[in-house]
Chains A and B, each alone.
Chain A
Amino acid sequence: MSPTLTFAAESGEAAVVTAGWLLRNAWIFPAIPFCSFLITLFFGKRLPQRGSPVGVAALALTFVLGLAAAGQWISYSNRSEDAAHAETEHALVGASAGTGESAAATAAEDDRGATTEEEDGEVHTQVGEAADEEEHASVAPVESTRTWWQSGGIHFEVGTLVDGLAIMMIFVVSLVSLLVHIYSTDYVHGDIRYTHYFAFLSLFTASMLGLIVSQGIVQFITCWELVGLCSFALIGHWWEEQANSDAALKAFLTNRVGDMGLLIGMIVLFFTAGDGRTFSIVSINQAVVSGTVSHTAMTVAALCLLAAVMSKSGQFFLHTWLPDAMAGPTPVSALIHAATMVVAGVYMVARLYPVFWDGLSIAGSSFNMMVLVGAVTTLVGGSLAFVQRDIKRVLAYSTVSQLGYMVMALGCGAWTAAVFHLFTHAFFKACLFLGSGSVSHACNHSFDMKKDMGGLRKRMPITHATFLIGTLALAGFPLFAGFWSKDEILAGTGGFNLAEGANGSYHVFLVIGLLTAGMTAAYMTRCYWLTFLGEWRGGHDHDTGHDTGHQPAMAVGAAVATGHDAHAAGGHDAHGHGEPHESGPRITGPLVVLATLTFLATFANIPEKFSFIPEGWRLRFEHYVEPRGDYFPTISHAEFAPAVAALSLAMAAIFSGVAIIYYRKVRAQGAYATELAHGPTTRNALAAAGYRVLENKFYLDWLYQGVIVAFIKGPLARGIDRFNQVVLDGIVDGAGINSRKAGDLLYRYVDQAVVDGAVNASGLGASETGGMLRRFQTGRIQQYAALMFGAAALLAGVLVIAVQ
């Protein structure tokens, strides 16, 4: 190994760019919240304010360090480019040597030694066309590793991998987590498990950050499961209610189903791309990009990993846990089930993109499994969001839908668009969730839009404004981040050649994307209208008659929501039972920050076409976040397409227009009406049937709970148990009983009859003989003598005869 390394080091003379301290020591990001977790868990109850300041402070520190790391990354990235630029000039002299050396350096990096903490941050350059040099200049990810354990001389490492993607995620996670921590100090104030709540928030943040900076796939799996655990613990935060713990269990178990795919997929990767020697994500990606790995194996791995994405990121048909997860406290929903944890699946695809790129043959195609899963999810989520009356569930289904969007984008090859959407979605969805929490905080902790909300626009101005911004962003109106990221995705599908530079031609999916854009605008309009416009229905019992027809579906949501109430209300009597009013600054503050970011994120990735903006300001997101180098496939980026943008905007406008018209008609029925008395569902059988399907969530829950789980827990498990008790135990017991019976028979017929019989018979025989001989014992001496003489005579006779 060492000769190669020396060779590489020599070759890289001009190209060595040292990465900043934070990039090399990224372990600090998960470490800080983890310390906060331990402190809060063990000492929290004795600390002032029951330990919440520890979490807030830790997250503030993490966030600041995250910002610093982002700065260091930008600087490192720029310097790498400069060095690459210099190298290119240098290499013009000996171009062929340069490429060879960089390949050797790559190989050397693969062979990384046992216990080294790599501080090199070596930069390898590929000599490209001079014009494209900046685009193709590779920026090596910063890795630092330590041996975790070894088996048969193969070292398994634990460490950190930092590149633009990780930096972006660190920023998102630490920021949203910080805001949620602050928000929670008010929102769950007075809760009986306040301290535990903060402990788990910290643990979640630590695990999520750990996941982000994971260097190897085992580490990735570990953090992946840990975030699942935190999700479980926080969904079940009010576990006294069966409904909440059921939701927690459902989340964990559904995720476990996907984790099966994760385990198998990662194992396949380890043995094929990792060559059975390394779990390192970078090495695996490099191997896949270099094309030395079997395509079939990558397809298998990609499909297995897709199962994990489906569970973690709530893709159809494993999405059913996500809406139920709303049983947890609202800030948790914002942090975990909207902004961060659920995008872990998307992050995983982004991280291991070469595997999917190669395995699913994304480039130049028009169909693959991932894009299908994403598209179905986005439609399913969007359609289900229409029939919810629980505001959080609307947002939950919207999250499902948006995650489907991201997965669809990744499936189309629009990597940057997907990741950018992840980025913007985190802000506006967190904003919406926290906004809904603020609303519910004001409305007696109810989440029922139809029963307890309405007319909050004037009563809660800040919440209203931020919620509106979030809604606009989600619905995809220009000037808000959601528009840009959504548009990039739509362009990235490459449908109907509307945009240039896409990786494939996913026509159908452009249509689905546009349709979803419209649906999103419509259901968000419904949500916004029901919550903020009209008159407040909370103080009155105006649950209109025709709602009763839809009770079954609502019952589930309502049960979950009331589960929340029962416990949260304890600490909130001060606010409750009155007219709704604006929440305190610790709640509105984070809302304002998130709303601002929703707006600012627009500028993160200004399209190249907007030439009136200086070059240094355009496509900054793509420039710094997208990995460049031999561990990422060469993907092309769709240009901004005015036609697509116009179409999507038109869809959004039309759909929300229809929704507005509908609700204006509703309002005409009365100030407290929430739906048309004679809407399509009452007039049209088909519409009614469709509504029924939707309100039963496509019967998936019924299928899982009622059919699959019930079968396994019921007949199958009982059958196995009966098999165990009756057959296997029967055999064992039978063996025991039969050997006892056999023993009994043996005892009775052999032991007692034959063996003992023989013994008894010998005794009896002796006694009988004695009795018989007794008669010879007359006691008369002369008789004895006669016998003796007789016998002697007889013997003498015998003797005489014998001798002769």
Chain B
Amino acid sequence: MWLNQFLLVGAALFCIGVYGVLARRNGVMVLMSIELILNAVNINLIAFGAFNGTIAGQVFALFVIAVAAAEVGVGLAIVLAIYRNRSTIDLETANLMKG
């Protein structure tokens, strides 16, 4: 019964994150939305781990947090670089990779 609640929280958080990623134009906001998605995953991992009585979920969550920190670091650096070049962090304009 209580697992569902955690999962529902995770799913809600995930959906908010996805919406942020898809809808926001601000690069920093997108990065933060990604953090939301990752944390949704973390909630799920810890919930499943607790539910199954193993520590594995928490270990995975720790890894994800570490990777997320690194990812945000890199992501923010990119955003900063974009901002320096173009004076905007609007992702709609950052389409240099268009084929």
Contact = CB atoms under 8 A, between A and B. Distances in A.
Interface of A: 773-782, 785-786, 789
Contact of A782 (B22, B96, B98, B99): B22
Interface string B81-99: 0000000000110111111
B74 to A, nearest CB: 14
Contacts of A781: 30, 91, 94
A778 B98 contact: yes
Nearest to B94: A781
8 A-B pairs closest in CB distance: A777-B99, A779-B98, A779-B95, A779-B97, A774-B99, A785-B21, A780-B95, A786-B22
B92 A780 contact: yes
B98 A777 contact: yes
B76 interface: no
B11 interface: no
A775 B99 CA distance: 7
Given A780-B91, A780-B92, A785 B22 contact: yes
Contacts of A785: 21-22
B65 interface: no
Interface of B: 18, 21-23, 30, 91-92, 94-99
Nearest to B37: A789
B17 to A, nearest CB: 10
A721 to B, nearest CB: 73
A773 B96 CA distance: 17
Given A780-B91, A781-B91, A782-B30, A789 B98 contact: no
Nearest to B24: A782
B97 A782 contact: no
B97 A777 contact: yes
Report which residue of A774, A781, A789 has the largest number of chain B beta carbons within 10 angstroms of its beta carbon.
Answer: A781
Given A781-B91, A782-B21, A785-B22, 13 more contacts: A774-B99, A775-B99, A776-B99, A777-B98, A779-B96, A779-B97, A779-B99, A780-B98, A781-B94, A782-B22, A782-B91, A786-B22, A789-B21
B42 to A, nearest CB: 18
Nearest to A788: B21
Contacts of B96: 779
Nearest to A784: B97
Contact of B95 (A775, A776, A778, A789): A778
Contacts of B91: 780-782
Nearest to A770: B99
A311 to B, nearest CB: 99
Contacts of A786: 22
Nearest to A793: B18
A778 B95 CA distance: 7
A774 B21 CA distance: 23
A780 B97 CA distance: 8
A572 B18 CA distance: 135
Contacts of B23: 782
B18 A789 contact: yes
A784 to B, nearest CB: 9
A789 to B, nearest CB: 6
A588 to B, nearest CB: 124
Contacts of A789: 18, 21-22
11 contacts: A774-B99, A779-B96, A780-B91, A781-B91, A781-B94, A782-B22, A782-B91, A785-B21, A786-B22, A789-B21, A789-B22
Contacts of A778: 95, 98-99
A774 B96 CA distance: 14
A157 B38 CA distance: 116
Contacts of B98: 777-780
Contacts of A776: 99
A611 B99 CA distance: 141
A777 B94 CA distance: 13
B28 to A, nearest CB: 14
Contacts of A775: 99
Nearest to A786: B22
Nearest to A792: B18
Contacts of A780: 91-92, 95, 98
A88 B96 CA distance: 139
B76 to A, nearest CB: 15
B38 to A, nearest CB: 14
Contacts of A782: 21-23, 30, 91
Contacts of B92: 780
Nearest to B96: A779
A790 to B, nearest CB: 10
A776 B99 CA distance: 8
Contacts of A774: 99
A789 B15 CA distance: 11
A785 B19 CA distance: 11
Nearest to B25: A782
Nearest to B93: A780
A789 B33 CA distance: 14
Nearest to A773: B99
Nearest to B98: A779
A774 B97 CA distance: 11
Nearest to B34: A785
A519 B91 CA distance: 139
Contacts of B21: 782, 785, 789
Nearest to B99: A777
A780 B98 CA distance: 7
A780 B99 CA distance: 10
A775 B98 CA distance: 8
Nearest to B21: A785
B73 to A, nearest CB: 18
B98 to A, nearest CB: 3
A30 B93 CA distance: 121
Contacts of B94: 779, 781
Contacts of A779: 94-99
Nearest to A776: B99
Nearest to A782: B22
A779 B95 CA distance: 4
B15 to A, nearest CB: 10
A216 to B, nearest CB: 101
